[in-house]
């Protein structure tokens, strides 16, 4: 018999090891791929990555052309015939448009089946991102993966199409051009898309399909990727979110299924000048590569015509097993069976007096209080931290440089809250009495999941394990089983521990409440273990001390440095309609850089109520009127304005005399468009309601210019009595290079704020038609 002291030590070691392994097992750890000629070489891939990320290369920039020419040359070195598809594309959802240039190549297979398409994009985010992770990593993984594949003299059964798309960052425009305009798109049976929303962490697999995922998940398992990381909860949540990738266009416009692979760790680097090769995690890079290697070998020789399915699977990854999956049809029966077993065990427990009504009811007190208090702590604690550190609001994606500290701190303090509420109950109540409350809540959660979110149905696993533990408590002698119970909960810790970290990293620290709720739910599952720990009075203080120390560390690391740069923004806006000029910023406060424009006391708010907000709804927060600089204004021509019956047709031509990067049209009043064309490309009717495109206010169109001399021709058809009052914003990313301005550059501890129009000169012109 193991003594209580030693059994507690063993239990703690088991739990710590399981939590550590749950993260460690997700991706390669310093296992660099082969440098052999026929093997994938990380070193060779990184040579390409360094070459294409020397400078920002957003669509339309000079460096964008340099990167395209480099990639075309490298694919041609592999013996491939490369085509550059040039096509104007319009995104029907965001009404963005550009003349795109996709890089395409095709490897002929021995059969006549559907083709496998490898997809990533080579443009970086406008205008300062170097794009190493997003999505240079995907581009060079495909490039090096194809080199290694061809070096092995492999002849695929299926054609392999390579699409390195353009203008993904502007609205999935390159993918739109390929799917809707290129004949090869009709041949595609499956897409593998490589993306990034950060610079580290495991790469997650997400399915894109219009039907069920059954065939795709079974095929993914057969591909035998060495480090699969995916679960159907992420799949279900992803389908409900507005987030899109290039692969979304293939699904929506081409009914083509595929897999997304993306990593989200170190989210603070996303779309910034810090998205560099040096900051990208090599293990993460190799995790992405491991997907390509396995899936290229498998899907290049597999029938891709039978991947459609009506049935959905619940799935999750588990070490050594790969993907564990089962059909949605099992979800509700499993939940009901577990609920039935729970009530049977309740009856048995009360009958043999192993359970007491008072003990069971009182067991709800610490669990519910832990859930309530920790949730309130997460919500208001983060709001307090934002008040203490207002600079955090300038990190628009919501995950701060010290974000991992905050996750650890909130988890530790949540554990302190849990043990504080439970410490008195551990002495007075039995483990079986205390475990009823969390088990009951988990069963309720699973019934709700079965009805509303079946993709999360693997949450039934903790219920099954806890029912097993409860059965032991009810049918065996009251002996010390802490080691047995610790072993039993290992699967729970391995599956669910990463979820504590996942949501605030990917969706911002406002999601710390999810981390705290998951923590309390996991503590509830471990009550039979913790009940047998000695010195339980000291445990809450231990976690309180740990959480406090981590919070102090987060505060110490809350500032900015050369490694953790401060984002800021500045615009020069010339409003020709009122003949005034302004400096404007999306920052809430000035700093040493923006003060040279805004001074010490800028005006709060925007220079105009009629401006566009960022991806994260960030509006201009500071402005100051300034002198007018003689910027060359665009030529805007009303080519025609005719009324036929009830339709008014307007043709508008816009030419940028200063070769601007972006032309945006905005309206402050509602407009209903019956027809909408951009350079003869029609906005698809399915994007409209009642056969009209209704815009209440805001952006009508964002056109990104990619060629000097490019003219934008617009054709609108509206009701005959429709009056148009449109602002045209012409933006050029030339604030630092324009000789009309003398600007002190940012310090080494600053960077251009992403997701907003920045470092640009803007000319606003109003037209009334």
pLDDT surpassing 70 at residue 31: no
What CATH number is given to the structural domain containing 737? Answer: 2.60.40
290 neighbors 192 (Cβ within 8 angstroms): no
Same domain, 657 and 606: no
- 561 in any annotated domain: no
Same domain, 549 and 576: no
What CATH number is given to the structural domain containing 184? Answer: 3.40.630.10
Tokens of residue 732, six digits = 């050029």
- 18 in any annotated domain: yes
User: In 630-651, which positions are buried (b, 16+ CB within 10 angstroms) versus exposed (e)?
Assistant: ebeebebeeeeeeeeeeebbbe
- 727 in any annotated domain: yes
pLDDT tens by residue, 457-496: 999 999 999 999 999 999 988 777 899 999 999 999 999 9
Split into its structural domains, the chain has a count of 4
Residues 6+ apart with CB under 8 A from 534: 4, 5, 8
What does the alpha-carbon distance between residue 23 and residue 17 come to, in Å, rounded to a whole number? 10
- 324 in any annotated domain: no
Same domain, 606 and 676: no
pLDDT of 751: 96
pLDDT surpassing 90 at residue 137: yes
Tokens of residue 568, six digits = 């800021």
pLDDT surpassing 60 at residue 688: no
Task: Report the relative pairing of strands 566-568 and 750-752 from DSSP bridges.
Answer: parallel
- 257 in any annotated domain: yes
Same domain, 599 and 657: no
97 neighbors 167 (Cβ within 8 angstroms): no
Same domain, 163 and 296: yes
pTM of the model: 0.94
Residue 40's alpha-carbon distances to 148, 151, 288, 727, in angstroms, are 6, 10, 12, 51
pLDDT of 92: 85
pLDDT surpassing 60 at residue 689: no
Same domain, 608 and 708: no
- 620 in any annotated domain: yes
- 28 in any annotated domain: no
Note if the bond before 344 is cis, omega within 30 degrees. Answer: no
pLDDT of 87: 96
Cα–Cα nearest to 165, from 210, 141, 135: 135
pLDDT tens by residue, 342-357: 999 999 999 999 999 9
Choose one of 318, 337, 355: the last residue of a domain.
Answer: 318
Same domain, 650 and 757: yes
First to last CA, the chain: 89
pLDDT of 69: 98
Choose one of 276, 292, 318: the last residue of a domain.
Answer: 318
- 323 in any annotated domain: no
Choose one of 556, 574, 593: the last residue of a domain.
Answer: 556
pLDDT tens by residue, 34-75: 656 778 999 999 999 999 999 999 999 999 999 999 999 999
What does the alpha-carbon distance between residue 502 and residue 494 come to, in Å, rounded to a whole number? 14
Same domain, 85 and 197: yes
Same domain, 51 and 13: no
What does the alpha-carbon distance between residue 378 and residue 385 come to, in Å, rounded to a whole number? 10
Q: Which domain holds residue 604?
A: 566-626
Bridge partners of residue 698, in order along the sequence: 667
Same domain, 490 and 347: yes
Residue 511's alpha-carbon distances to 136, 437, 505, 519, in angstroms, are 29, 25, 8, 13
Same domain, 191 and 219: yes
What does the alpha-carbon distance between residue 396 and residue 650 come to, in Å, rounded to a whole number? 38
What does the alpha-carbon distance between residue 325 and residue 143 come to, in Å, rounded to a whole number? 32
pLDDT surpassing 70 at residue 2: no
pLDDT tier at 562, thresholds 50, 70, 90: very high
Tokens of residue 325, six digits = 């999956």
Same domain, 611 and 682: no
């Amino acid at each position: 018999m193991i003594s209580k002291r030693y059994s507690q030590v063993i239990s703690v070691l088991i739990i710590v090891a399981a939590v550590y392994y749950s993260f460690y097992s997700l991706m390669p750890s310093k296992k660099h791929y082969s440098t052999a000629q026929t093997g994938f070489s990380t070193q060779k891939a990184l040579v390409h990555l360094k070459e294409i990320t020397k400078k920002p290369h957003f669509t339309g920039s000079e460096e964008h052309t340099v990167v395209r020419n480099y990639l075309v040359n490298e694919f041609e070195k592999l013996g491939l015939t490369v085509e550059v598809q040039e096509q104007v594309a319009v995104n029907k959802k965001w009404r963005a448009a550009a003349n795109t240039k996709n890089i395409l190549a095709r490897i002929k297979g021995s059969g006549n089946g559907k083709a496998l398409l490898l997809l990533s994009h080579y443009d970086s985010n406008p205008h300062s991102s170097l794009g190493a992770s997003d999505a240079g990593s995907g581009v060079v993984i495909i490039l090096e993966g194809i080199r290694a594949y061809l070096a092995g003299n492999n002849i695929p059964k299926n054609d392999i199409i390579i699409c390195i798309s353009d203008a993904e960052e502007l609205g999935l425009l390159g993918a739109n051009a390929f799917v809707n305009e290129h004949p090869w798109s009709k041949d595609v049976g499956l897409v593998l898309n490589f993306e990034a929303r950060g610079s580290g962490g495991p790469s997650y697999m997400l399915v894109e399909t219009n039907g069920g995922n059954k065939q795709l998940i079974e095929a993914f398992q057969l591909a035998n990727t060495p480090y699969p990381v995916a679960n159907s909860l992420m799949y279900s949540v992803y389908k409900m979110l507005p987030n899109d990738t290039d692969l979304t266009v293939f699904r929506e416009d081409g009914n083509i299924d595929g897999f997304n692979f993306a990593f989200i760790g170190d989210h603070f680097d996303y779309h910034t000048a810090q998205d560099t090769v040096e900051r990208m995690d090599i293990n993460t890079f190799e995790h992405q590569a491991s997907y390509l290697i396995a899936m290229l070998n498998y899907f290049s020789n597999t029938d891709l015509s039978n991947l459609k399915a009506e049935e959905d699977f619940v799935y999750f990854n588990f070490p050594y097993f790969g993907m564990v999956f089962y059909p949605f049809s099992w979800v509700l029966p499993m939940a009901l069976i577990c609920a039935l077993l729970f009530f049977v065990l309740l009856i048995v427990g009360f009958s043999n007096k192993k359970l007491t009504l008072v003990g069971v009811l009182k067991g709800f007190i610490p669990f519910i209080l832990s859930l309530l208090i920790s949730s309130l702590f997460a919500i208001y604690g983060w709001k307090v931290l934002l008040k203490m550190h207002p600079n955090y609001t300038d990190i628009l994606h919501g995950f701060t440089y010290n974000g991992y500290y905050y996750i650890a701190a909130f988890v530790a303090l949540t554990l302190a809250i849990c043990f504080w509420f439970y410490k008195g109950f551990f002495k007075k109540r039995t483990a079986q009495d205390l475990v009823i409350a969390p088990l009951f809540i988990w069963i309720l959660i699973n019934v709700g999941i079965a009805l509303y979110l079946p993709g999360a149905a693997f949450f039934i696993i903790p219920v099954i394990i806890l029912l097993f533990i409860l059965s032991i408590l009810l049918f065996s002698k009251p002996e010390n089983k802490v080691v047995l119970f610790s072993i039993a909960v290992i699967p729970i810790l391995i599956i669910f521990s990463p979820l504590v970290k996942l949501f605030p990293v990917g969706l911002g620290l406002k999601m710390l409440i999810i981390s705290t709720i998951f923590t309390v739910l996991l503590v509830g599952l471990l009550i039979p273990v913790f009940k047998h720990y000695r010195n339980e009075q000291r445990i809450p203080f231990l976690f309180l001390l740990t959480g406090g120390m981590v919070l102090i560390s987060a505060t110490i690391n809350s500032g900015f440095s050369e490694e953790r740069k401060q984002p800021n923004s500045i615009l020069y806006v010339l409003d020709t309609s009122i003949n005034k000029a302004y400096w404007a910023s999306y920052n809430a406060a000035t700093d040493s850089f923006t003060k040279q424009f805004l001074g010490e006391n800028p005006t709060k708010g925007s220079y105009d109520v009629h401006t566009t907000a960022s991806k994260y709804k960030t509006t201009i927060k500071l402005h100051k009127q300034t002198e007018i600089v003689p910027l060359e204004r665009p030529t805007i021509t009303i080519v025609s304005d005719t009324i036929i019956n009830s339709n008014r047709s307007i043709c508008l031509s816009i030419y940028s005399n200063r070769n601007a990067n972006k032309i945006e049209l905005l309206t402050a009043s509602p407009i209903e468009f019956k027809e909408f064309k951009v350079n003869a490309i029609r906005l698809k009717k399915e994007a409209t309601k009642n056969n009209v495109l209704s815009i209440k206010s805001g952006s009508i169109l964002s056109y990104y210019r990619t060629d000097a001399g490019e003219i934008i021709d617009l054709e609108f058809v509206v009701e005959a009595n429709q009056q148009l009052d449109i602002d045209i914003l012409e933006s050029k990313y030339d604030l630092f290079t324009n000789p009309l301005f003398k600007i002190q550059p940012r310090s080494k501890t600053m960077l251009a704020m992403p997701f907003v129009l920045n470092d640009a000169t803007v000319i606003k012109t109003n037209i009334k038609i």
